[in-house]
């Protein structure tokens, strides 16, 4: 039986149910606090009491005891993997009631996501234009990419071949459930929030792809050899929901957590999205421009969700600056 793209939504919904359950049986018990060591007082022979060290004054710190106010050390490397910079604190000065942190519940996130284009600034529109250009360029190569993967197949074999929809969705679902499961196992709240960001980003991305699918109704490459088969009755090719979900989950993995593991996270996160998109092309389930559009949608949605939940103020940023004759992509990073 052929698996359809709707299985992506079903897998993500199942992941949400598992996430909401939050089994307490996989959480580690809290260790008993260790007793504070007593100060050592040497025993001196009679007549040498003058050499006895003076007792510490009341309130003075005892050597070897933890100092109040000292920064806490990470409990383990696992916690360091999930740790992240705290969101900027809300302005609590007098007369700053309007600066209170916005509601970031699911309902508020949906409303903000749907209405976000109404609040885009020039930089946001520049990114949208860059994504549109990338989709247009990739559309030029749709036929060449399809031919590369189907050169040795007959038209009937192309039509009958499986697109492996369920198989191609498994890596992204595995990363999502693995992130949540490991965070629950070590009882790390940052990790659970990261997995929720993954789920919400993927859900919003997939929902958005189906809006576009039913609007443009593009035929898939296993249904037609014409990459311009828009406005067809049963078409649901553009954009790729698999690519959108994989890049949404992968971007949260890549850009969350501790900066000490940033390069590892980015290789894993963006590698997940790239590998999923490649599999969709290899299985002749999508045109190249479908995967590029899905990737852009997934990345943008993930950044939207992370900015909503963590706030702005990332120490690094990309920006598009208009210049004479084109545009310039710039990268900035604030060093601590």
Q: Which two tokens stand for residue 8?
A: 């992506």
- Separation between Cα atoms, residue 94 and residue 74, nearest integer Å: 35
Among 25-34, 149-158, 318-327, the range with the most confident prediction by mean pLDDT is 149-158
Indicate whether 1 pLDDT > 50: no
Q: Tell me the angle at which helices 241-255 and 189-216 cross, rounded to the nearest 10 degrees.
A: 150
Indicate whether 66 pLDDT > 70: no
Give the residue carrying structure tokens 């959108």.
244
Q: Which of 234, 216, 232, 233 is nearest to 290 (CA)?
A: 216
Return the H-helix or E-strand segment holding 310.
helix 288-310
Indicate whether 151 pLDDT > 50: yes
Tell me which DSSP letter residue 42 carries: -
Confidence tier at 17 by pLDDT (50, 70, 90): very low
Q: Which of 255, 227, 223, 252 is nearest to 135 (CA)?
A: 227
The β-bridge partners of 322 are: 327
Task: Return the SS3 of 110.
Answer: helix
Task: Return the SS3 of 19.
Answer: helix
- Separation between Cα atoms, residue 2 and residue 26, nearest integer Å: 36
Q: Is the pTM of this model over 0.75?
A: no
Tell me which DSSP letter residue 57 carries: P
Q: Tell me the angle at which helices 6-21 and 241-255 cross, rounded to the nearest 10 degrees.
A: 40
Question: Rounded to the nearest 5°, which phi and psi values hold at 326?
Answer: 165, -145
User: What phi-psi label fits residue 171: left (phi over 0), alpha (psi between -120 and 50 degrees) or beta?
Assistant: alpha
- Separation between Cα atoms, residue 298 and residue 247, nearest integer Å: 5
CA triple 138-141-145, angle to 5 deg: 110
Indicate whether 159 pLDDT > 80: yes
The 10s digit of each residue's pLDDT in 188-229 is 999 999 999 999 999 999 999 999 999 999 999 999 999 999
Confidence tier at 320 by pLDDT (50, 70, 90): low
What pLDDT, on a 0 to 100 scale, did the predictor assign at position 314? 46
Indicate whether 32 pLDDT > 60: no
Among 57-61, 135-139, 185-189, the range with the most confident prediction by mean pLDDT is 135-139
The β-bridge partners of 321 are: 328
């Amino acid at each position: 039986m052929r698996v359809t793209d709707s299985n992506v939504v079903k897998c993500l919904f199942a992941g949400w149910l598992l996430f909401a359950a939050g089994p307490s049986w996989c959480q580690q018990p809290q260790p008993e606090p260790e007793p504070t060591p007593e100060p050592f007082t040497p025993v001196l022979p009679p007549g040498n009491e003058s050499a006895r060290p003076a007792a510490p004054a009341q309130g003075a710190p005892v050597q070897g005891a933890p100092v109040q106010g000292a920064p806490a050390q990470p409990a383990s490397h696992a916690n360091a993997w999930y740790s992240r910079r705290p969101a900027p604190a809300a302005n609590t000065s007098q007369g700053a009631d309007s600066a209170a942190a916005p509601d970031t519940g699911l309902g508020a996130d949906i409303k903000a996501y749907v209405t976000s284009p109404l609040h885009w600034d020039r930089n946001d529109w520049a990114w949208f234009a860059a994504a549109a250009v990338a989709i247009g360029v990739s559309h030029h190569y749709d036929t060449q990419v399809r031919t590369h993967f189907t050169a040795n197949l007959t038209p009937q074999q192309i039509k009958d071949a499986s697109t492996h929809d369920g198989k191609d969705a498994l890596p992204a679902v595995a990363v999502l459930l693995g992130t949540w499961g490991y965070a629950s196992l070590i009882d790390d709240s940052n990790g659970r929030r990261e997995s929720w960001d993954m789920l919400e980003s993927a859900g919003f991305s997939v929902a958005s792809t189906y809006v576009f699918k039913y609007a443009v109704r593009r035929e898939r490459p296993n249904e037609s050899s014409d990459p311009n088969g828009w406005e067809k009755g049963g078409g649901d090719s553009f954009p790729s929901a698999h690519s959108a979900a994989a890049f949404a989950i992968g971007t949260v993995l890549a850009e969350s957590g501790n900066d000490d593991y940033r390069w590892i996270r980015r290789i894993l996160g963006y590698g997940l999205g790239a590998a999923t998109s490649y599999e969709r092309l290899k299985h002749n389930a999508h045109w190249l421009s479908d995967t590029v559009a899905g990737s852009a949608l997934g990345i943008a949605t993930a950044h939207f969700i992370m900015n909503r939940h963590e706030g702005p103020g990332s120490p690094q940023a990309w920006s598009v600056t208009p210049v004479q004759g084109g545009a310039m992509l710039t990268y900035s990073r604030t060093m601590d």
